[in-house]
Amino acid sequence: MNKLLVFLALCSAFIVLPTSGRVVCYFTSWTIYRPDHGKFSASNIDPNLCTHILYAFVGLREDGTVSVLDDWELTGLEEMAHLQAIKEQNPDLKLILSMGGWNEGSAKYSTVAGNPSLRQSLVDSVLAFNDQYGLDGFDLDWEYPCQRGGVDADKANFITLLGELKSALNARGQTLSAAVSGGIASCKLSYDIAAVAENLDMINVMVYDFHGAFEPFVGHYAPLYASSLDQTDEQKTLNVAAGIEYWLDQGAPASKINIGLGTYGRGFSLADAANTSLYAGTYGGSEAGPYTREMGVIGYNEVCELYSNWEYIWDDEQQVPHIVNGNQWIGFDDARSLQIKVEYANSKGLGGAMVWSLDTDDFSGICGGGKYPLLNTINQYLN
């Protein structure tokens, strides 16, 4: 049995313990359209493995109101009703509306944040949407203030917007969170961290996607620590520990921070199949998986089901695994690396974990380790 199969088998060897920290899980609405074993519906969610489920995503209209990006998924396929039914199974579960994401860009958010009347429209629209569907809060995933079509004033306007949202939501007993960058260079551009933290109930720090097919060389998408192969000062900061510690050092309370954890990976096509080291040259992303169907991105469910015979390599410095087959190199997280990351979060006194996302865990248990091996690992070791 190769090393990957050994670690997958270990997934079934633990008993899930009640968690005393937050487990904030993103439910991505488009995954209901995936084929075969990759199809994921709200009805697949285990109601007891997350403290919060974030419905991702809605968009933002130019008038400041909530834009439903896929009304057929939301109401035609009754996915919102399915989410509400899950909450009936676990009344302590919180359902949160999440707005934004990478594809939304920044320009509309910049315009709304800088205009008092449009900010009020957004607040009113969020409250109305939450009332309509019985939701418990709002998550803003603006990627990113001052970048990607934003302006310098975004840094201050973001804080103003968060303050107005938090005041209105908290008055109704609802929660405000935001997904924020875990890259230090990006944070310096986008955030007054202490002020952002003051105006949020939870901070979902995206300490992942540090490397990927958007670069011409190999790098793990979410290393816990730096590598001795890192060359530049910035490369040495592109890791989980550096990102979390920056947020802490800049004044974010540990109790508000949720460490971002991935149930997926990113991969590359190697320029030279004989050179598989970090920073080896590449000519693009790895081949698309049958479920995620995107070059350079792979779900853990695809790795464990389809690639268990690939060579498994553990990076002792970065504390994460990757697999190699010919010219294909994929870095991802498994139960072992997530346990170590959660234990790191515990050592920093963090309030919980944020999981992106439910649909790429082995949610149906087809790999033989039981359903949701990664999410179960997070629950077992958190606090």
Residue 315 maps to a domain: no
Instruction: Report if residue 366 sits inside a domain.
Output: yes
Please report, for the domain that includes residue 87, its CATH number.
3.20.20.80
Catalytic choice (143, 234, 245, 311): 143
pLDDT of 24 higher than 70:
yes
CB environment 212-242: b (16+ within 10 A), e (fewer): bbeeeebbbbbbbbbbeebeeeebebbbbbb
- Give domain status of residue 139, yes or no: yes
The mean predicted confidence, pLDDT, of the chain is: 95
Q: Which domain holds residue 71?
A: 15-263+334-381
Residues 6+ apart with CB under 8 A from 73: 29, 30, 32, 33, 79
User: Tens of pLDDT along 298-331?
Assistant: 999 999 999 999 999 999 999 999 999 999 999 9
Per-residue confidence band for 70, with pLDDT thresholds at 50, 70 and 90: very high
Is 266 in contact with 294 (CB distance < 8 Å)?
no
Residue 163 lies in a domain: yes
Asked if residue 298 is part of any domain, the answer here is no
What is the per-residue pLDDT across 97-153, written as a single tens digit (0 to 9) for each?
Answer: 999 999 999 999 999 999 999 999 999 999 999 999 999 999 999 999 999 999 999
Q: Considering its fold, how many domains does the chain have in total?
A: 1
Question: Does residue 55 sit within a domain?
Answer: yes
- Owner of token pair 């860009």: 105
The burial class, CB within 10 Å (0-12 / 13-18 / 19+), for 98 is buried
Please name which of 293, 270, 286 lies closest in space to residue 359, comparing C-alpha atoms. Answer: 293
Q: What is the mean pLDDT of residues 46-60?
A: 98
Query: Given this model, what pLDDT does residue 128 score?
Result: 98
Mean pLDDT over 257-262 rounds to 98
Identify the pLDDT of residue 20: 60
- Any domain includes 271: no
- Whether 25 maps to a domain, the answer reads yes
**Tens digit of each residue's pLDDT (9 = 90 or more) over 4-19:** 444 444 443 333 333 4
Tell me which DSSP letter residue 360 carries: G
Please name which of 95, 24, 22, 26 lies closest in space to residue 56, comparing C-alpha atoms.
26
The contacts found for 317-322 with CB under 8 angstroms, 24 or more apart, are 317/225, 317/226, 317/227, 317/228, 318/220, 318/223, 318/224, 318/225, 318/226, 318/227, 318/239, 319/223, 319/224, 319/225, 320/220, 320/222, 320/223, 320/224, 321/4, 321/7, 322/220, 322/265
Cβ-contact 15, 376 below 8 angstroms: no
Residue 143 annotated in active site: yes
pLDDT at residue 383, as a whole number: 83
Taking the alpha carbons of 103, 296, 2, 343 in that order, is the dihedral positive or negative? negative
Q: How confident is the model at residue 1 (pLDDT cuts 50, 70, 90)?
A: very low
pLDDT tens digits along 148-202: 999 999 999 999 999 999 999 999 999 999 999 999 999 999 999 999 999 999 9
